[in-house]
Structure 1
Amino acid sequence: MWQRFSLYDIRVIGHYLGVLVLFSTIALLVPLATAIACGEWEPASHYLLTIGITLILGSGLRFLRIEPGRLGRQQALAVTGFAWIVLACVASIPLYLSGHFASYLDALFDGVSGITTTGASIILDLDHLSYADNMWRFMMHLLGGFGLIVVALSFGLFGKRSGASLYSSEGRSEHVVPNVVQTTQFIAKIGMGFIILATGILSLVCLFIGMEPLRAVLQSFWLAVSGFMTGGFAPMSQSIMYYHSFPIEVVLMLLMLLGSVNFVLHSEIWKGHVAVFFRDLEIRTMVLWLAVMTCVFAASLSASLNFSDLPAMLRRGGFMVISAFSTTGFQNITTNQLTGALSSGAFLVVALLMAVGGSGGSTSGGVKFSRVGIIAKSIVATIKEALAPDSARVVVSYNHVGRRMVTPEVVKEAMTVFTLYVLTYVIGALVGIAHGYEATQAIFESVSMASNGGVSSGLAAPGMPATLEAFYIVQMWAGRLEFVTLLALIVEIFVSFKPRRRAPQIRTGEVL
């Protein structure tokens, strides 16, 4: 039963939001240090100002502090939902001050895109952006890819009592170990391990192709963060095409694949349970889905003159398939090639890959393979029940870090989120069409935003209608929260503002 937000609830929510806002100051110190080290004094002043704003805002919210207690489910949902909004608004301040955005709404679009790891960008003159501002773009990917709550919990910010509620409110339900704090620390360690290793390899490649040492290391770090976090931001306007390097593309493809795998399965590999990994429902669904869609994509590309030769098909096609399914958004083809050179079938395949996304509990977006696999299992169960005798009891199971049963509750959760994603894709497409865009591009862009995919057909660009831009911001936010947190937050706010019904008063001696 939904309850109204009381003054106590508002104070609790405000307190935890204040903690998260103050915590974001640590992330802002990284671009500030970059600006000072590189002698970029104007960007440094922007980050000093933003740090001051976060300290004032966070401290003000902390004054709402009350006696510590365990967060309730509804309070945790509200904290998580509002945190993504508040931190996106704060993160957009230095972006707007950089002078590379036409308006604050454009900067907010990139801020939400960065934190939700969508990767779509409407920045102006990206190639001449300062090192500090570029560093901030990828720090947003780092925070959003791990999850704001996960990063905070990994530092032991909320403790065990409130941590469990906050952890599940961000769409995560699985634990590497029973302890929530240790689970988040493992996620952070394994993610940073992959990023540091990839940074070293990419730095060597960038030095080999002629980059200056500082630029090579920074751009390698940014690409590694964006690749493993399946974010999609790139330090150059041409995305991955800028480098003209097949080794860089190979490293990024491996990173995107690793980022698309559930962190729980990473832990199983770490423990040496390789058989558990390959028996998992998500991995098997991923392999089957990628095999089918890659064959369809290759067949569609073969009809195009730009991709008719095998090397071009393998390099460009393979990279785009992995970028789309992992919802990263890196591109090694231009937007014009995406919309004009690709056949309509290949264009549709990219959209479908983004719509489904990667594994649950990973850094990727979309519906997730876990839900697709469960829905497929439920279809199998329905067919078995139809063929089985009336007295038979049909049981369908699947592997996901152990043997599990396909229960009505599990199927309902998967179908609910799947339906919400599809509805959002359709509504977003209709909004794009209402703004005068072609149906195929509107559908593609809607899927890209709601799935946090980031591959753009050209609709998300500087000068786009403000109403469409605002809707895409909401889509990115809703897709990152996987709708449940967002809808719960909306219901709670609606219930809180809905006028109370007064109970009828009965007068003495009145007969009912």
Structure 2
Amino acid sequence: MWQRFSLYDLRVIGHYLGTLTQLFAALMAVPFITALVFQEWEPAERYLLGIGIALVVGTLLQFLRIEPGRLGRRQALAVTGFAWIVLAFFASVPLFLSGHYATYMDALFDGVSGLTTTGATVALDIDHFSNADNMFRFMMHLVGGLGLIVVALSLGIFGKRSGSSLYTAEGRSEHVVPNVVQTTQLILRITLVIIFIAAVVLTALCISIGMEPVRAVLQSIWLAISAFTTGGFAPMAESVSYYNSIPIEVFLMLLMILGSISFVVHAEVWKGRLQSFFGDIEIRTMLIWLLVMTVVVAASLSASALFSDLPAMIRRGLFMVVSAFSTTGFQNVTTNQLTTVFSSGAFLALALIAAVGGSAGSTAGGVKLHRVGIIFKSIVSTVKEAVSPSSARVVVSYNHLGRRVLSSDAVKEAMTVFVLFVITYSVGALVGIAHGYEASQAIMESVSMTSNGGIITGIVTPGMSPSLEAFYIFQMWAGRLEFVTLLAVLAEIIASLAPRKRRVRQ
């Protein structure tokens, strides 16, 4: 039976959301300082206003402070579920006041897209964004890619008692180390080290193509954040094709692949346990999946004039495959080329790649390779049971941080999330078709929103239909929460709003 949210539950949820709001106010200090450094006074005013609003609201919610205690699972699910939307409203304030958005809904869309690391944007004139606005966009990617709860726990804000419930509610079940706070700190440390090294390399590459040093440093930091968090925002409207540099594209592909690998596997490599990397079910599934789909896309592109020679096919095709697989959304082809030059087979193949996504426990979205591997193992188990004697006991195992035996619970979880993703992909495509768009475009856009992929085909545009935009916002939110958390929260809300049944004493 679903339980109602009590007044105590609402106070607890409000208290924790207030804490996250205050943390988000601290995040907005980064673009505010950036504006001061570059003497961008108008953006500085906007971010100061945003900081003030977030601090006031967060402090008011803090007055709902309750006695210390362990955070319940229901409360943790609600905090995690609402945080992505609540903080997106605060993010939309400085974005909308920038004048780069046609409507407030567009600014909210970009706020949700940034925090969920979808990377699709409806901003106007991106090439003339201030440094502060760009810094804010990529800070949202950094916090959203790591996870709002992970960042809060790594800073020691919630402590160990409540941290475990929140960590699990955000869709993370595996621990690098036994302590939740130490796990989140290691995740943050790995991320910052990789982004720092990547920014240094990208700075050198940007300077080599003639970019001035300060601009090269800023754009390199933003590209490094967006690539590793598999976000997809780019500082220029033409995305990666703006740089027209093969070395930059190759390095970004490496970063996107690293970002789509589970942090747990990163930690094992960090500790020098390379056998865990090559034997992991997700890594093996990733290699097979990428190989098969790359061949499919290459075969589909071979008939196109733009990809008639092998170097062009490798450069354009492989980059788009990696971008779709990691659900990053970078593009080294224009949206017009994507919809006109790409064959329908290659187009739908990219949608299928983005639908599966990267590894569980990574910054990538989609169904996740771990679940695909589990489902494949369950098929193998079913076939083995069919051909084995009735007295035989079939055991199927796999490697994921040690040897594991395939269980019915693991298969049930994988199939449940897989089905929910497929249903949402399908419904989103139908909604796009109902708004008058072609089926292939509607499918790709729906997959990109739900998998937090970001490769768009022209449906997501400034001033788009409010009803379609609202549905895409819901898809980004649902995909980031991987449905289970969201459905649990919605069920609790419905139970709370339903009228109580009165018992009549006879």
Shared fold (TM-score, shorter chain, > 0.5): yes
Residue by residue over 1:121-161, the C-alpha shift from the partner in whole angstroms, topping out at 9 and shown as x without a partner, is 01000001100001000000001000000000000110000
**CA drift at 1:504:** 2.5
Equivalent residues in 2 for 1:84-99, closer than 5 Å: 84-99=84-99
CA deviations 1:291-345 (Å, max 9, x no partner) are: 1000011111111111110110111111111000000000000111111101111
Q: Deviations over 1:56-108 (max 9, x none)?
A: 00000000001011011000000001111110110111110100001110000
Letter of the structure 2 residue corresponding to residue 140 of structure 1: M
1:62 aligned partner: 62
- Which residue of structure 1 aligns with residue 243 of structure 2? 243
Deviation, structure 1 residue 286: 0.5
Q: CA deviation at 1:374?
A: 0.2
Q: Output the aligned Cα RMSD.
A: 0.7
Structure 2 counterpart of 1:446: 446
Post-superposition shift, 1:502?
1.5
Partner of 1:100: 100
* Distance in 1 (alpha carbons) for counterparts of 2:463 and 2:61: 36
Offset of 1:271 from its aligned partner? 1.4
Identity, in percent, stands at 69
Alignment of 1:166-181 (within 5 A): 166-181=166-181
2:333 is equivalent to residue 333 of structure 1: yes
1:291 maps to which residue? 291
Alignment-mate amino acid for residue 233 of structure 2: F
Alpha-carbon distance in 2 for matches of 1:268, 1:67: 38
Counterpart in 1 of 2:277?
A: 277
- Matched to 2:321, the amino acid is V
Report matched runs for 1:131-142 at 5 Å.
131-142=131-142
The aligned counterpart of 1:510 is none
Is 2:400 the counterpart of 1:400? yes
Is 1:481 the counterpart of 2:489 in the alignment?
Answer: no
Specify the alignment match of 1:509 in structure 2. none
> Which runs of no fewer than 5 residues in structure 2 stay unpaired?
none
Equivalent positions of 1:39-58 (< 5 A) are: 39-58=39-58
Deviation sequence 1:33-76 (CA, Å, 0-9, x none)? 00000000000000000000001000000000010110110000
Which residue is equivalent to 1:421? 421
Distance in 2 (alpha carbons) for counterparts of 1:196 and 1:292: 33
Letter in 2 for 1:485: T
AA aligned to 2:486 is L
| Alignment partner, residue 471 of structure 1 | 471
Alignment partners' CA distance in 2, 1:159 and 1:73: 16
Q: Secondary structure of the equivalent of 1:305?
A: coil
Amino acid corresponding to residue 207 of structure 1 in structure 2: I
Structure 1 residue 2, shift from structure 2 partner: 2.2
Q: CA deviation at 1:389?
A: 1.0
Given residue 16 of structure 1, which amino acid in structure 2 is its aligned partner? Y
> Structure 2: which amino acid aligns with 1:68?
P
Contact map agreement 2:50 2:94 (CA 8 A) in 1: yes
Q: Provide the rounded CA distance (Å) in 2 between the counterparts of 1:436 and 1:24.
A: 38
Cα offset for 1:256? Answer: 0.2
The 5-angstrom pairing of residues 425-440 of structure 1 reads 425-440=425-440
Residue 405 of structure 1: how far off its partner (Å) = 1.1
Deviations 1:225-246 (A, max 9, x none): 0000000000000000111111
* C-alpha contact (below 8 Å) 2:103/2:463 kept by paired residues: no
Partners of 2:37 and 2:212 in 1: CA distance: 16
SS in 1 for 2:416: helix
| Structure 1 match to 2:29 | 29
Q: Which runs of 4+ in 1 moved over 2 A?
A: none
CA distance in structure 2 between the aligned counterparts of 1:218 and 1:136, rounded to whole angstroms: 12
Letter paired with 1:352: L
The Cα offsets for residues 9-32 of structure 1, whole Å up to 9 and x where unpaired, read as: 010000000000001111101000
Structure 2 residue identity aligned to 1:494: I
In the alignment, does 2:382 pair up with 1:382?
yes
Task: Please identify, of 1-10 and 254-263, the stretch whose mean Cα deviation from structure 2 is larger.
Answer: 1-10
Q: Which residue of 1 aligns with 2:256?
A: 256
Which segment is superposed worse, 428-437 or 495-504?
495-504
1:222 partnered with 2:222: yes
Distance 2:295 2:96 in 1: 43
State the shift of 1:363 in Å.
0.2
Whole-Å separation in 2 of the counterparts to 1:5 and 1:191? 36
Q: CA deviation at 1:462?
A: 1.2
Aligned partners of 2:84, 2:426: CA distance in 1, in Å?
24
Q: How far 1:364 sits from its partner (Å)?
A: 0.2
Query: What residue in structure 2 maps to residue 19 of structure 1?
Result: 19
Amino acid at match of 1:134: N
In structure 1, distance between residues paired with 2:262 and 2:177 = 14
